[in-house]
Amino acid sequence: MSVEESLKPLFSAITELKPSFIDRLSQAVSIPSVSSDESLRPKVFEMAEFLKSQLITLGAEDIQMRDLGIQPPPVVDPKLQLPPIVLARFGQDPAKKTILVYGHYDVQPASIEDGWATEPFTLVQKDDKLIGRGSTDDKGPVIGWLNSIEAHRKVGLELPVNLVCCFEGMEESGSLGLEELVAQESDKYFKGVDAVCISDNYWLGTKKPVLTYGLRGCNYYQITVSGANADLHSGVFGGIIHEPMTDLFKVMSQLVDVKGNILIPGVNEMVAPVTAAEDKLYDPIEFSAEELSQAAGADTGYFDDKKDILQHRWRFPSLSLHGIEGAFSGAGAKTVIPAKVVGKFSIRTVPDMDSDKLDQFVFDFVKAKFAELGTKNKLNVELIHGGAYWVSDPFNDNFTAAANATKLVWGVDPDLTREGGSIPITLTFEQELKTGVVLLPMGRGDDGAHSINEKLDVPNYIEGVKTLSAYLHYYAAGAK
């Protein structure tokens, strides 16, 4: 029997189970599992228990609630427990391939005062939208995997692969403890994993499904310029001393030009050239400059052309100036000369930039520009956070299975996209498990993942369950 034939009864079951799937998501959304709010930590634990009980009901084996210990500072409660990583398996047949699915059960904060039209922790169905915190990020996809299992059970269809679930509760707060757990379990719980599927990103727009094969990395720097040992009055000291803020402005203004070009020598030279084949991948992508203006809330883009916009978002590095610590930033006309200011900026990185080399180029450039000032102030420049970029072959077995699944359910070939931001765990899974990762999103680009009125469209939820299910079957068939 072809994959398509065997999926027919499964898809019918998924359609029939829609009310129960919406109810399951509604139960999940009703638990305010906000990981960044210490007072809501018990709710994050409650959400983990909810998943556990669902997993038991659905026949999971080897369910483990992995304790990650106490949350490191800064915390208000020094004994604050990290929520567990929930591990579970469905099947351990050595004859089958094994897929690991990752998702997170914690959510961003939300309260009606922020401007929500409805109570954020009550799933509300309005027209064809399911509105509520976590509906799309990431409870919809996590519950989506459970729904897929329920549908398989209902029609008596065996899962075509061994499924390993890894659901974490700290994703919105830096994924504390996850990297260590993945490394620790690579040869244990995660042994034999053939491929990883993460459903925690979005379509680019609202109409066409996508698969995502690349993410930019991010190196975050700070430049400290210090002079006097206390803030001074400009009426007394203005005009007779070297001012740290003036020095910092001079240096920071030379990092990037007003068209977004990075001015640090050596940086652009490390970027891998766009090949003709790669350039072609951008042709079918549904996107317009208007969508960018809409998303930005203003018509302030550098580019009008679709390819220029997307390649500069996904494929080329960018440098952004973020802020100055220690500077006067209040209202009014305070005449202070800040004694010490810390400028913050970051560079979004892409293949084949070498992170260590990049740091060295940045340090050398900043020091050289500072030396040119002939100032008597002191300078320090350092990397304060680094995360690597990720890019995958979008035509490997894992992506092909996801593309076939998307085509079957949505009737179109998915756009192959990248993202300008980072999902650090993607690279961790790839490196630690030595396997490929596909980012297979469920929701649309306008879902409002971290903002008010977060939603998931009902078709994305239900067809999304079909897509995730079909992906498993295509992967199993292709891997034979």
How does DSSP classify residue 302?
S
Among the listed ranges 112-120, 193-201, 354-362, 406-414, the one in contact with Zn ion (CB under 5 A) is 193-201
Q: Which residue is catalytic, options 171, 419, 454, 457?
A: 171
- Pair 402, 459: CB distance under 8 Å: no
Query: Interhelix angle for 244-252 vs 355-373, to 10°?
Result: 130
Q: How far is the CB of 169 from Zn ion (least distance, A)?
A: 12
Hunting for tokens 């700070």 — which residue is that? 222
Strands 98-104 and 195-198: parallel
Q: Count of alpha carbons within 13 Å of 281, Cβ hemisphere only?
A: 21
Pick 44 or 324: Cβ nearer Zn ion: 44
Supply 400's token pair. Answer: 């092909």
Q: What minimum distance in Å lies between the beta carbon of 437 and Zn ion?
A: 15
Q: Is 463 an interacting residue with respect to Zn ion (CB under 5 A)?
A: no
| Active-site choice (106, 150, 185, 247) | 106
Cβ atoms 225, 464 nearer than 8 A: no
**Residue (138 or 247) nearer to Zn ion, CB:** 138
- Phi first, then psi: give them for residue 139, nearest 5 degrees: -70, -35
Q: Is 106 in the site for Zn ion (CB under 5 A)?
A: no
Find the shortest distance in angstroms from Cβ 324 to Zn ion.
Answer: 30
Q: Among residues 200, 415, 454, 463, which is the contact residue for Zn ion, using CB under 5 A?
A: 200
Please name the amino acid found at residue 343. Answer: G
The verdict on whether 171 is a catalytic residue reads yes
Q: Measured from the CB atom, is 106 or 247 closer to Zn ion? A: 106
Verify binding: residue 137, Zn ion, rule CB under 5 A. Answer: yes
The nearer residue to Zn ion, 171 or 463, going by C-beta atoms, is 171
> Of the ranges 131-139, 213-221, 232-240, 327-335, which one interacts with Zn ion (CB under 5 A)?
131-139
Q: Is 4 a catalytic residue?
A: no
Verify binding: residue 138, Zn ion, rule CB under 5 A: yes
Sign of CA dihedral 458, 462, 463, 465: positive
CA distances (Å), origin 172, targets 68, 424, 450: 16, 12, 10
Strands (E), 398-459: 415-419, 436-439, 455-457
Please tell me whether the peptide bond between 138 and the residue prior to it is cis, using omega within 30 degrees of 0: yes
Q: Which stretch binds Zn ion (CB under 5 A): 65-73, 134-142, 190-198, 231-239?
A: 134-142
Buried b (16+ CB within 10 A) or exposed e, 178-214: bbebbeebbeebbeebbbbbbbbbbbbbeebbbbbbb
Q: How far apart are CA 303 and CA 312, in angstroms?
A: 9
CB of 29 to Zn ion, least distance (A): 14
Straight-line distance from the first to the last Cα atom of the chain, in angstroms, rounded to the nearest whole number: 14
Neighbours of 419 (CB within 10 A): 20
- Cβ burial, residue 304 (10 Å; 0-12/13-18/19+): exposed
Q: Is 415 in the site for Zn ion (CB under 5 A)?
A: no
How far apart CA 438 and CA 353 sit, in angstroms, is: 22
Q: Tell me whether residue 175 or residue 404 sits nearer to Zn ion (CB atom).
A: 175
Which of 141, 214 has the CB closer to Zn ion?
Answer: 141
What's phi and psi for 359, nearest 5 deg? Answer: -55, -45
Site size toward Zn ion (CB under 5 A) is 3
Annotated binding site: 104, 137, 172, 200, 233, 335, 348, 422, 450
**Which range binds Zn ion by CB under 5 A, 118-126, 130-138, 371-379, 387-395?**
130-138
Please say which residue, 185 or 200, places its beta carbon nearer to Zn ion: 200
Q: Which stretch binds Zn ion (CB under 5 A): 129-137, 140-148, 362-370, 433-441?
A: 129-137
Smallest separation, CB 137 to Zn ion (Å): 4
| Residue list, annotated binding site for Mn(2+) | 104, 137, 172, 200, 450
Q: Among 112-120, 196-204, 280-288, 373-381, which window interacts with Zn ion (CB under 5 A)?
A: 196-204
Which residues does the annotation place in the binding site for substrate? 200, 233, 335, 348, 422, 450
Measured N-to-C along each axis, helices 3-16 and 18-29 cross at an angle, to the nearest 10 degrees, of: 60
Minimum CB distance to Zn ion, residue 303 (Å): 28
CB 282 within 8 Å of CB 416: no
CB of 107 to Zn ion, least distance (A): 8
Nearer to Zn ion, 82 or 341 (CB): 82
Could you tell me the smallest distance in angstroms from the CB atom of residue 103 to Zn ion? 8
* Alpha-carbon span 325 to 340, nearest angstrom: 9
Residue owning tokens 């994305």:
460
φ, ψ of residue 22 in degrees (nearest 5) = -65, -40
Q: Which residues are catalytic?
A: 106, 171
* Interface positions with Zn ion (CB under 5 A): 137-138, 200
